[in-house]
Amino acid sequence: MKTIQLAGVIIAVAALFIAANSFYTVQQTQYGLVLQFGEIKQVKSSPGLYAKIPLVQSIEHIDKRILMVSMSPAEEIILSDRKRLVVDAFARFKVSDPIKFYRAAGTEAKAIPLLQKAMSSVTLNLLGTQPLSAVLSDKRAALMVEIRDSMNRQAENWGIDVVDVRIRRADLPEANSQSIYKRMQTERQQEAARIRAEGQEEALKVRSEADRKVTVTIAEARRDADILRGEGEGQRNKIFGNAYGQDPDFFDFYRSLKAYEAALQPGETTFILEPESDFFRYFGDAAKPAK
């Protein structure tokens, strides 16, 4: 009886094991490859639950999503104009033919080195024919398309479709960068010195022109003042002449008063003159008693 029970347990376990190994699932993001003794018998690309022969057939899942691979490490490239450039790129790819992919690479982990090697080789060869200006200009997008197409020609044999290639970084080597930075700094300093010198020269020109204009303006103002002063004195003399012609006695009296005013300043001038001097003639006449 115990032997029968043990046999029943063994049969049940075996049945469960066989049932568990008779079915498999394929996710939305996967291909399901049915292998029989290493040979591919079926490829399932639709998600669902499928049956297989237990112990004879095995399942290999391959990711059908778009994956990414990076150039590792970044490559130093000598361009056509002998400039050196450190380039770091990445590519996005997907498995287009799971049978080719499995036969060429087997797994994603084994496919990554193949793509890295292809990307490095294509990038070095293509960018090596271009000058630095092309890599750093709008032509860069076209170069990435060429790299992608060249990679696809190789990846087609692996059942892989390279969707896109992008240059993540394109920098000068550290030694070159420092040299260029120093040269740029020197050029900027020279440019600043040139601009400063031109500014000083222009300032001297402006200052000289301003000084010249000031001198000319002052000279013209003095000339105009002298002309006006001469015209005024002439007019004054003309008026005095006319006044003298009308009343010479009053004019002599007026001129004498102006002379007294100018000569007899308090505390400044001392005169020793005779009372009968012609200078005091109007004082003498004024001192006579009125008749």
Per-residue H/E/C for the chain: CHHHHHHHHHHHHHHHHHHHCCEEEECCCEEEEEEECCEEEEEECCCEEEECCCCCEEEEEEECCCEEEECCCCEEEECCCCCEEEEEEEEEEEECCHHHHHHHCCCHHHHHHHHHHHHHHHHHHHHCCCCHHHHCCCHHHHHHHHHHHHHHHHHHHHCEEEEEEEEEEEECCHHHHHHHHHHHHHHHHHHHHHHHHHHHHHHHHHHHHHHHHHHHHHHHHHHHHHHHHHHHHHHHHHHHHHHHHHCHHHHHHHHHHHHHHHHCCCCCCCCCCCCCCHHHHHHHHHHCCCC
What domains can be seen in the chain, in order of their start residue?
2-63 (no CATH), 67-172 (3.30.479.30), 253-287 (no CATH)
Alpha carbon distance 236, 257 (integer Å) = 18
pLDDT band (50, 70, 90) for residue 53: confident
Buried b (16+ CB within 10 A) or exposed e, 119-149: bbebbeeebeebebebbeeeeeeebbeebbe
Is residue 74 a contact partner of residue 169, using CB atoms and an 8 Å limit? Answer: yes
Cα dist from 244 to 159, 234, 247, whole Å: 130, 15, 5
The reported pLDDT for the residue numbered 69 is: 92
Angstrom distance (rounded) from CA 36 to CA 44: 14
pLDDT in tens, 70-104: 987 888 888 888 888 888 899 999 999 999 999 99
Q: What is the reported pTM?
A: 0.55
Convert the pLDDT of each residue in 190-246 to its tens digit: 889 899 999 999 999 999 999 999 999 999 999 999 899 888 888 887 887 777 777
Q: Residue 233: what pLDDT?
A: 85
- What pLDDT is recorded for position 243? 72
Can you say whether residue 134 is alpha, beta or left, with left for phi > 0 and alpha for psi between -120 and 50 degrees? alpha
